[in-house]
Amino acid sequence: MNLPEEIEVAAKQSYPVYLGAALEELGDYLQSLPDKIQHILVISHKKVSDLYLERLVKGLEDYRVDLLTVPEGEEEKSLERLSRLTTAALDCGADRKTLVIALGGGVIGDLAGFFASAFMRGIRFLQVPTTLLAQVDSSIGGKVAVNHPAGKNILGAFYPPLAVWTDFSTLNSLPWNEVENGLAESIKHALIDDEDLFAFFETQADSIRQRDPAIWREMVTRSTSIKIRIVSQDEREQGIRRLLNLGHTFGHALETEMNYRGVTHGQGVSIGIVAASYLANAKGSLTLTEVERIKQLLQRYDLPTSIQKQDPQTLLRRMQTDKKNQGGRKILVLPQGIGQAVVSEDCTDEEILAAWHKIIVENN
Amino acid sequence: MNLPEEIEVAAKQSYPVYLGAALEELGDYLQSLPDKIQHILVISHKKVSDLYLERLVKGLEDYRVDLLTVPEGEEEKSLERLSRLTTAALDCGADRKTLVIALGGGVIGDLAGFFASAFMRGIRFLQVPTTLLAQVDSSIGGKVAVNHPAGKNILGAFYPPLAVWTDFSTLNSLPWNEVENGLAESIKHALIDDEDLFAFFETQADSIRQRDPAIWREMVTRSTSIKIRIVSQDEREQGIRRLLNLGHTFGHALETEMNYRGVTHGQGVSIGIVAASYLANAKGSLTLTEVERIKQLLQRYDLPTSIQKQDPQTLLRRMQTDKKNQGGRKILVLPQGIGQAVVSEDCTDEEILAAWHKIIVENN
Ligand SMILES: NC(=O)c1ccc[n+]([C@@H]2O[C@H](COP(=O)([O-])OP(=O)(O)OC[C@H]3O[C@@H](n4cnc5c(N)ncnc54)[C@H](O)[C@@H]3O)[C@@H](O)[C@H]2O)c1
Ligand SMILES: NC(=O)c1ccc[n+]([C@@H]2O[C@H](COP(=O)([O-])OP(=O)(O)OC[C@H]3O[C@@H](n4cnc5c(N)ncnc54)[C@H](O)[C@@H]3O)[C@@H](O)[C@H]2O)c1
- Judging contacts by C-beta atoms under 8 Å, the chain B residues touching residue A79 are 79, 82-83
Mean pLDDT of A219-229: 96
User: Which CATH architecture describes the domain A5-173?
Assistant: 3-Layer(aba) Sandwich (3.40)
| Mean per-residue pLDDT, B188-212 | 97
Task: List pLDDT tens digits, range A97-108.
Answer: 999 999 999 999
**Average pLDDT for residues A76-91, to the nearest whole number?**
98
Q: Is position A189 annotated as part of the catalytic site?
A: no
Query: Is B196 exposed, middle or buried, given 0-12, 13-18 or 19+ CB atoms closer than 10 A?
Result: exposed
Most confident of A5-9, A360-364, B306-310: B306-310
| Residue B175 burial (CB count, 10 A) | 8
Name the least confident of A209-213, A236-240, A314-318: A236-240
- Confidence check: pLDDT of A3 > 70: no
What ipTM was predicted for this assembly? 0.94
B36 touches chain A (CB under 8 A): no
Q: What pLDDT is stored for residue A320 in this prediction?
A: 82
Q: Which of B114, B131, B140, B180 to mutate to test the pocket of ligand 2 (most atoms within 8 A of CB)?
A: B131
Residue B356: count of CB within 10 angstroms of its CB: 24
The residues, any chain, with a CB within 8 Å of residue A330's CB and separated by 6 or more, are A249, A319, A320, A322, A345, A347, A352
Per-residue pLDDT, A364? 47
How far is ligand 1, taken at its centre, from the CA of residue A101, in Å? 15
Domain B176-201+233-361 fold is: Dehydroquinate synthase-like, alpha domain (1.20.1090)
Nearest chain A residue to B117 by CA distance is A157
Tell me how far apart the alpha carbons of residues A205 and A300 are, in angstroms, rounded to a whole number: 7
Mean model confidence pLDDT for chain A: 94
A154:B122 CB<8 A: no
pLDDT of residue B4: 79
- Higher pLDDT: A214 or A329? It is A214
| Residue A328, pLDDT score | 66
Residue A244 amino acid letter: L
CB pairs under 8 A between A and B: 83
Give the CA distances from residue B9 to residues B16, B132, B230, in Å, rounded to whole numbers and listed in that order: 6, 19, 9
pLDDT the model gives residue A325 = 66
Q: How large is the average pLDDT for residues B132-159?
A: 96
Q: Is A78 in the pocket of ligand 1 (CB under 6 A)?
A: no
* CA–CA distance, A250 with A237 (Å, rounded to integer): 19
Any idea where the domains of chain B sit in the sequence?
5-173, 176-201+233-361
pLDDT exceeds 50 at position B349: yes
- Asked if A36 reaches chain B (Cβ–Cβ under 8 Å), the answer is no
**pLDDT tens digit string along B79-107?**
999 999 999 999 999 999 999 999 999 99
pLDDT higher than 60, residue A1: no
pLDDT tens sequence across B27-64: 999 999 988 899 999 999 999 999 999 999 999 999 99
Q: SS3 sequence, chain A?
A: CCCCEEEEECCCCCEEEEECCCHHHHHHHHHCCCCCCCEEEEEECHHHHHHHHHHHHHCCCCCEEEEEECCCCHHHCCHHHHHHHHHHHHHCCCCCCCEEEEEECHHHHHHHHHHHHHECCCCEEEEEECCHHHHHHHCCCCEEEEEECCEEEEEEEECCCCEEEECHHHHHHCCHHHHHHHHHHHHHHHHHHCHHHHHHHHHCHHHHHCCCHHHHHHHHHHHHHHHHHHHHHCCCCCCHHHHHHCCHHHHHHHHHHCCCCCCCHHHHHHHHHHHHHHHHHHCCCCCHHHHHHHHHHHHHCCCCCCEECCCHHHHHHHHHCCCCCECCECCEEEECCCCCEEEECCCCHHHHHHHHHHHEECCC
Instruction: Dump pLDDT digits (tens) for B170-190.
Output: 999 999 999 999 999 999 999
Q: What is the mean pLDDT of residues B264-271?
A: 96
Q: pLDDT digit string (tens) for A243-259?
A: 999 999 999 999 989 98
Mean pLDDT, rounded, for A106-123:
98
Mutational test site, ligand 1, from A44, A45, A52, A54, max ligand atoms within 8 Å of CB = A45
Looking at the complex, does the CB of residue A121 fall below 8 Å from at least one CB of chain B? Answer: yes
Q: Is the pLDDT of residue B363 over 90?
A: no
Question: Residues A43-49: what's their mean pLDDT?
Answer: 98
**Backbone angles phi and psi of B27, in degrees to 5:** -55, -40
Contact with chain A for residue B119, Cβ under 8 A: yes
Intrachain domains A5-173 and A176-201+233-361 with the same fold: no
- The pLDDT-based confidence of B364 (bands split at 50, 70, 90) is very low
Confidence of residue B314 (pLDDT cuts 50, 70, 90): very high
Counting other chains too, the contacts that A198-206 makes at CB distance below 8 Å and 24 or more residues apart are A198/A297, A198/A338, A198/A339, A201/A297, A201/A300, A201/A301, A202/A297, A202/A300, A205/A297, A205/A300, A205/A301
Q: What are phi and psi of B351, to 5 degrees?
A: -65, -40
